[in-house]
Amino acid sequence: MKTPVAIVGAGPAGLLLSHLLHLEGIDSVVLESRTREEIEATIRAGVLEQGTVDLLAQSGVGERMKREGFVHEGIVLRFAGASHRIALTELTGRSIMVYAQHEVIKDLVKARLDANGKLFFGVKDAALYDLDSPSPKVRFHREESVEEIEAQFVAGCDGFHGVSRPSIPSRHRQEFTRTYPFGWFGILVEAPPSTAELIYAHHERGFALVSTRSPQIQRLYFQCDPEDDVKSWPDARIWEELHTRLATRDGWTLAEGRIFQRGIIAMRSFVVEPMRFGRVFLAGDAAHIVPPTGAKGLNLAVNDVRVLARALVDYFKTGAEEGLKAYSATALRRVWRAEHFSWWMTSMLHRFHDDTPFHHRLQLAELDYVVSSRAKAITLAESYVG
């Protein structure tokens, strides 16, 4: 099989890249190791930056998002028992959209299949080779047979645990990692919203986040030991922890409900440089990871493919290679900004195992500065909305 662009991974990065290329008349094949049902049911991100929303809308896959998503014009920082609003829109002129990642996935899969896009689910053992030759290849198992794609370019959009990044010889990549000594316990709850805007809470016992998915479904997180077992958290213990960390002095209450999904996620910062080797380009989580505190992962993936799609379109339409040559440096500039923001939000809002009372006072002083200085609030708001 031959194709201009072979795309490994049908996450937001791979699907959107395939869609953007299709709009410009460029063919691609997307290989995904999981089933359509699995990728459409995996609960992950929920906060879309304005730029992400605009790109989805402009490229014709934003209709349901505009109908079912929720525009938020602020977030709340909560600490020392009080809430403080960061007025995102007033401070930056922009807003965010709360619309779940798996809904974005559904919209993109539908758009690709409606356009007869080549999207292969359930492929196994994808292997990339000849990456620094003019015709890189991907070999894989599909329905009991071995198949091979010969492409002009390969886009490695297969997430942090994918095969694309490790296919680049280690002497051609430099990796930067920070692992945090805590994770997030996340739950999905059948309950009405407890708040009109997301609440980021700092508490002596650790961080908590109140987010939403719909008027009926709420998404809540609290900082936990990454080695903890979900079984050691019966419902009553979860609610007690959330009530404690989110308590205010003004009588705010958290609405409880049936918990129907729960899990623990690890927290990591990671970047690989460069994001290109020969004719393979990495995009999204395959190239970088941020802790979810800044809500940046999905948005970075979208930005990568925005830049990559433009470069590939330039190449296929005019033969110009400047965009492809600049891809890694262009994407990494935004990646490192988001890495810093996500690290900063994480450091300010979580308790670390080696915290001293001195360190805790510094965190409170910084939070107080963010909510009392317009300049500092703008710094947070600008990065948050993207």
Ligand X SMILES: Cc1cc2nc3c(=O)[nH]c(=O)nc-3n(C[C@H](O)[C@H](O)[C@H](O)COP(=O)(O)OP(=O)(O)OC[C@H]3O[C@@H](n4cnc5c(N)ncnc54)[C@H](O)[C@@H]3O)c2cc1C
Interface with ligand X by CB under 6 A: which residues? Answer: 8-14, 31-34, 39, 44-47, 101, 123, 126, 157-159, 162-163, 186, 265, 284-285, 292, 295-299, 301
Tracing tokens 């459409």 back to the chain, one arrives at 40
Q: Please, how many CA atoms are within 13 Å of residue 274, restricted to the half-sphere of its CB?
A: 14
Cβ pair 103, 68 in contact under 8 A: yes
Indicate the residue among 62 and 284 with the shorter CB distance to ligand X: 284
**Residue linked to tokens 């620094």:** 132
CA torsion sign for 74, 78, 84, 86 is negative
Q: What distance lies between CA 251 and its chain's CA centroid?
A: 33
Q: CB 42 → ligand X: shortest distance, Å?
A: 7
Considering the complex, what minimum distance in angstroms separates the CB of residue 234 from ligand X? 21
Q: Which is nearer to ligand X, 323 or 386 (CB)?
A: 386
Please tell me the distance from the alpha carbon of residue 277 to that of residue 303, in angstroms, as a whole number. Answer: 19
- Judged by beta carbon, residue 129 or residue 369, the one nearer ligand X is 129
CB 188 within 8 A of CB 41: no
- Whole-number minimum distance, CB 252 to ligand X, in Å? 23
Q: Is the dihedral of CA 61, 65, 67, 71 positive or negative?
A: negative
Closest CB to ligand X among residues 19, 296: 296
Angstrom distance (rounded) from CA 227 to CA 384: 29
Our CB check for ligand X shows the closer of 188 and 377 to be: 188
d(CA 191, CA 280): 45
**By three-state DSSP, how is residue 204 classified?**
coil
How far is residue 188's CA from residue 90's CA, in Å, rounded to a whole number?
30
Q: Minimum Å distance from CB 53 to ligand X?
A: 12
Find, among 4, 81, 20, the residue nearest to 306 by Cα: 20
Of the candidates 337, 277, 278, 276, the one whose C-alpha atom is nearest the C-alpha of residue 307 is 276
| Separation of alpha carbons 298 and 335, rounded Å | 12
Residue type, 325: K
Q: Cα separations (Å) of 280 from 15, 227, 314, 324?
A: 17, 35, 17, 11
Which residue in 160, 169, 123 sits closest to 6, CA to CA? 123
* Tokens encoding 224: 């936990």
Cβ proximity to ligand X, 247 vs 264, nearer residue: 264
**Shortest Cβ 177–ligand X spacing (Å):** 16
Q: How far is the CB of 277 from ligand X (least distance, A)?
A: 17
Q: Which residue has the tokens 């890249």?
A: 17
Residues acting as catalytic residues = 72, 200, 292, 296, 384
Structure tokens at 44: 């992950």
- CB of residue 226 to ligand X, shortest distance in Å: 13
83/212 with CB nearer ligand X: 212
